[in-house]
Chain A
Amino acid sequence: MQTHDSPQLKAEARDFNFFYGQAQALKKINMPIYDKKVTALIGPSGCGKSTYLRSFNRMHDLYPGNRYEGEIRFYPDNTNLLSPEVDPIEVRMRVGMVFQKPNPFPKTIYENVAYGLRVRGENNKRVLDEKVENALRGAAIWEEVKDRLQDLAPNLSGGQQQRLCIARALATDPELLLFDEPTSALDPIATGAIEELVHELKKRVTILIVTHNMQQAARVSDYTAYMYLGEMVEFGKTDEIFIKPKDKRTEDYITGRMG
């Protein structure tokens, strides 16, 4: 399906299956993720899009009984993220994540952003100051919080909290950033700000975003994958998927006949 302007691969799922205990949640997924692009995962609830997203940073390893099969290749080093030999912590150091509901830690704004750096053993104040500021600027929240970095993060508004969580993820320069319905708990104005930010961020990082909102997918993404009942139904450039879907199921979903 590659065309003339074929971008570089950042990651690629190959025959990826996932099981919650006995139940198979994802079936034979094959899908590329292109470097410095935004890829959106859409589909009705329960289709497995969040499950798929959470496999990229091995979140499922936190709970017993979950099982991966197949591969998610990560480039440029061609590591299989799902390999039992690969430590999930190592994966998470390279892949950042922003959650559905803002989940700032019960710490100051500054310490929230510095968290990942401290996890990596960085304690030099100058380095921390600089990286925290960069991350907050990157998440377009620096101007709002620069005078109150020592305030507790949970006191921020919902939209600010979510941008703080993005800054927290950005601070460690992840290679891939996962967004799990990042705007579902936010009002339209805050949602707009996050969408703008996602657009801005793809200059520096590859983004994979789950959304239940098709307009959002159309606005922010370069590529879109439509998932249904644990299967990858269709993947392609966002314009093509939305204008000329190849699969009947995709078309039904996009035109609102289902879901």
Chain B
Amino acid sequence: MQPMTTEQIRALIARGKLKDTLFQAIGILCLGIGLLVIFLLVGDMLMRGMERLNIEFFTEFASRRASQSGILSAWVGTLLVMLVTAAAAVPLGVAAGIYLEEYAKRNWVTDIIEINITNLAAVPSIVYGLLALGIFVYTFGFGQSILSAGLTLALLILPIVIVATREAIRSIPAMIREGSMAVGATRWQTCRYHIIPYAMPGILTGVIIGLARAIGETAPIITIGALTFIAFLPPAPFAPTGMDGATAGMFDWVMSPFTVMPIQIFNWTSRPDPAFEVNAAAAGFVLMGMVLSMNAVAIWLRYRMRKNIKW
């Protein structure tokens, strides 16, 4: 190879820089496509669903007539299922996270638990549905109820809550732990009064992200056999049930049949009558609103946390 002349080298560099610029353009384009999809989705659902987005839409049950259908049972169902999910996933996930970070010894049991959590995150959500169908619905006899659905989604988001808890705990410096132990606090007292409060914002972020994931999950809930056409609400605590003056118990609602937002949308998109597309769009917009605002809260929390790090 002859030594290259300055001109040759400059031409070579110019070509290289052109490729750099082209690649940057492609990169921005790819990012833009992602952004475009979000805008297109939200915009399309808003435009299409606009005519149905009024108060009645939220206060009416689903109906055979598209123009009279609402999402009352769906959003109430979603809310109640999320309640059960949070009630199960948060204590379990936080406790598991604390155990793994603060208590677990390095041995094969711990290794199995850790590998297991990683692998569970890769299991398709519909498989959780099959698990719930076999265990919650039939073996435990919970039936196709809010309880079954809530527990299923709780198992689904458990890895998210555990990982978030562990990361939050890991970011607490050892001196806090040592400081507490040094004044004679037990391990649990250290956790209770120092670790958990400090880790709270991080745990909360993880919980919100997990719930935002759960709220949009459809497949596992369909799998346990949730009904798509529900024109009633689960019994409120102590509401009168019948004519003999009996009232519902505090937790009767957990055993009630139900529907949720994504299932209602699925139901409407699979109708041949295009009038239901309008309903699907409107309900989709509402669901997107819920999910995006939950994610926005989580992102904001994380941002604030990063700003407020005191150590």
Contacts and interface: CB of A to CB of B under 8 A. Distances in A.
Within the complex, are A and B direct neighbours (CB within 8 Å)?
yes
B16 interface: yes
B9 A93 contact: yes
B3 A173 contact: yes
A117 B4 CA distance: 11
Nearest to B12: A121
A62 to B, nearest CB: 13
Central interface residue in B3, B12, B16, B17, by most chain A CB within 10 Å: B12
Interface string A99-135: 0000000000000000001001110100100010000
A90 B9 contact: yes
Question: Chain B CB within 10 Å — which of A93, A131, A173 has the most?
Answer: A93
11 contacts: A87-B10, A87-B13, A89-B16, A90-B9, A90-B10, A90-B13, A117-B1, A122-B1, A124-B1, A127-B1, A131-B1
A85 to B, nearest CB: 12
A173 B3 CA distance: 9
Contact of B12 (A120, A127, A131): A120
Interface of B: 1, 3-4, 9-10, 12-13, 16-17
A120 B16 contact: no
Contacts of B1: 117, 122, 124, 127, 131
Name the residue in A90, A127, A131 with the highest tally of chain B Cβ atoms < 10 Å from its Cβ.
Answer: A90
Nearest to B3: A173
Contacts of B16: 89
Contacts of B3: 173
Contacts of A127: 1
A120 B16 CA distance: 10
A131 B16 CA distance: 23
B13 A89 contact: yes
Contacts of A87: 10, 13
A125 to B, nearest CB: 12
A127 B257 CA distance: 76
B13 A120 contact: no
Contacts of A124: 1
Contacts of B13: 87, 89-90, 93
A89 B1 CA distance: 20
Nearest to B15: A121
Contacts of A173: 3
A228 B1 CA distance: 43
A127 B3 CA distance: 12
Contacts of A121: 12
A130 to B, nearest CB: 9
B10 to A, nearest CB: 7
A121 B12 CA distance: 8
Contacts of A93: 9, 13
Contacts of A90: 9-10, 13
The 9 closest A-B pairs by CB, nearest first: A89-B13, A127-B1, A87-B13, A121-B12, A122-B1, A93-B9, A90-B13, A90-B9, A120-B12
Contacts of B9: 90, 93, 120
Nearest to A128: B1
B53 to A, nearest CB: 46
A131 to B, nearest CB: 8
Interface string A54-78: 0000000000000000000000000
A121 B4 CA distance: 10
Nearest to A126: B1
A94 to B, nearest CB: 9
A122 B8 CA distance: 12
Interface string A189-200: 000000000000
Given A93-B13, A120-B9, 10 more contacts: A89-B13, A89-B16, A90-B10, A90-B13, A93-B9, A117-B1, A120-B12, A124-B1, A127-B1, A131-B1
